[in-house]
Amino acid sequence: MVLWSLGNELQQNADMSFNDWGVTVYKMMRMLVSRYDSTRLVTVAMHPRYRSLETDSIPAPLALATDVASYNYRYMYFPGDSKRFPNMMFYQSEANTSNMGPNFYEMDLDKVIGLAYWGAIDYLGESGGWPAKGWAQGSFDISLQPKPIAYLVRSMFKDEPTVHIGVVEKASEGSMWNHVNVGTDLMSESWNRTPGSKVNLYTYTNADEVELFVNGKSQGVKKNTKDPKGRNKLKWNDIPYEEGYVEAVARTNGKEVARHRLETTGEAVKLQLIPDNNAWKADGMDLQHVRVLAVDKKGRRVWGCNKPLTFTVEGDAKIIGTDNGDITSDELHTSNKRSLFHGSALVILRSGKKGGKVTLKASGDGLNASVKLR
């Protein structure tokens, strides 16, 4: 479904034209939208803290005027509002990634048409403070690499059996934003740690249960739950680290349906360059995203490799952007130099109009690779 939205968090502003908290302005704008597209519903997202002036138990006047009542974060209002106004449809226009799971499973999906996770992908701006340059609580980093928690989303919205391990590097500090807790745990997929240490980790799964192993030794079995607060995210505390591997085996009805393993890696010995556009057009506009990974001699990503790299292009194309997912990096996005971060970087190229062969080369501190893109 596609909706038109005419604004965000405006229902608290009494000083808009006509002095009725945006209702008349919305109706006039909706009429204009319908001249160009009368097929789609129109909405405005509601600020989480502002309801009716008379009572908090009644929606804001603007929410009652819209085709779909869109609430940022306050999905807990949906049941009560739907009882009082049975013809209303609801949409959770902003849902926080820190409450991912409950803010989906706790909704009455017969009355709610969907939700959007705000900050699901990290972005520049709204950083919360230097040296961060942007939002870092998403499920994907700014270079579009999935974080472990992205697999919770996958487990929620895909029927395909899923299990994925995320190792907690730093627990959430509970960052608050507009009275909403947006803090998430900092996690990785690294199994290179201090011998004798213990770690906390999650296994994200839509299976019935998960058994966790360290070098083949079972650490126990945890059952999934229908409780929204713990559904599909199983927490394991004080797991002993041993060099080798940790593996999660997911089962449904007693049968293995998925598994995921993290392994201790060696030193980075080479780079992998992985393009995403096999049909790259020489039209002066088409883009090519090339993922750069530092790998060991067995081809495993080396999370601890943060070496600086330089990128060059041969042929009719230009580097228009680089990134590595580190929101605190002071490297320029428009430069052809970028350090690896957790063993990863991204190079974005724009094609020229001449066509012909194009080759991207990466080099730095003993690591070199090239890939032919056309």
Write the pLDDT tens digit of every residue in 1-27.
Answer: 789 999 999 888 878 889 889 999 999
Digit-coded pLDDT (tens) for 91-129:
999 999 999 999 999 998 888 999 999 989 999 998 888
For residue 56, the domain's CATH number is 3.20.20.80
What's residue 244's pLDDT? 98
**Residue 373 host element (H or E):** none
Q: Which residues, 6 or more positions from 204, have their beta carbon under 8 angstroms from its beta carbon?
A: 148, 149, 151, 152, 154, 155, 162, 163, 164, 166, 232, 233, 234
Residue 237 domain flag: yes
The answer to whether residues 163 and 236 belong to one domain is yes
The label of the residue with tokens 């229902």 reads 11
Q: What does residue 104 show for φ and ψ, rounded to 5 degrees?
A: -105, -55
pLDDT in tens, 28-80: 999 999 999 999 999 999 999 899 888 888 999 999 999 999 999 999 999 99
Q: Note whether 112 and 46 are same-domain residues.
A: yes
Residues 284 and 250 in one domain: no
**21 CA to centre of own chain:** 33
Q: Which of 263, 298, 332 is the last residue of a domain?
A: 263
- 364 and 278 in a common domain: yes
Spatial contact of 284 and 352, defined as CB atoms under 8 Å apart: yes
Which amino acid does the sequence have at 263? E
Predicted local distance difference test score (pLDDT) of residue 148:
97
Return the closest-CA partner of residue 62 out of 94, 95, 19.
Answer: 19
Round to whole Å and give the CA distance between 121 and 136: 8
- How far from each other are the two terminal CA atoms of the chain, in whole angstroms? 37
Domain coverage including residue 364: 270-372
Residue 319 structure tokens: 């580097």
Q: Is residue 133 domain-resident?
A: no
Asked whether residue 139 is domain-assigned, the answer is no
Look at strands 233-240 and 245-252 and give their pairing. unpaired
**pLDDT value of position 177:** 67
Report if residue 126 sits inside a domain. no
Residues 200 and 249: their CA atoms lie apart, in Å, by 17
Residue 138 maps to a domain: no
Q: What is the pLDDT of residue 178?
A: 63
- Long-range CB pairs of 362-367 (<8 Å, 24+ gap) are 362/271, 362/273, 362/292, 362/309, 362/310, 362/311, 363/309, 363/310, 363/312, 364/307, 364/308, 364/309, 364/310, 365/307, 365/308, 367/268, 367/269, 367/270, 367/271, 367/294, 367/307, 367/309
Q: Quick one: average pLDDT of 123-152?
A: 93
DSSP string, 107-137: S-TTTEEEEEEETSB-EEB--SSTT--EE--
Contact indicator for 236, 222 with CB cutoff of 8 Å: yes
In the chain, the amino acid numbered 309 is: L
Look at residues 263, 290, 314 and tell me which one is the last residue of a structural domain.
263
- Which among 240, 263, 286 is the end of a domain? 263
* Spatial CA neighbour of 61 closest among 17, 21, 118, 116: 21
Question: What's the number of domains the chain is made of?
Answer: 3
Based on the fold, state whether residues 299 and 366 are members of the same structural domain.
yes
Residue 151 has pLDDT above 90, yes or no: yes
Domain shared by 154 and 227, yes or no? yes
| Residue 250 domain flag | yes
In a domain, 134, yes or no: no
For residues 70 and 43, state if they share a domain.
yes
Whether 201 and 293 map to the same domain: the answer is: no
> What CATH number does residue 190 fall under?
2.60.40.10
pLDDT tens digits, one per residue of 294-340:
999 999 999 999 999 999 999 999 999 999 999 999 999 999 999 99
Residue 182, pLDDT > 80, answer no
Residue 142: inside a domain:
no
Do 177 and 246 belong to one domain? Answer: yes
- Same domain for 254 and 282, yes or no, is no
DSSP state of 341: B
- Secondary structure (3-state) at 104: helix
In this structure, are 257 and 203 located in the same domain?
Answer: yes
At residue 174, the pLDDT reads 65
* 242 in the same domain as 154: yes
| Span 193-203, average pLDDT | 96
Calculate mean pLDDT across residues 222-235: 97
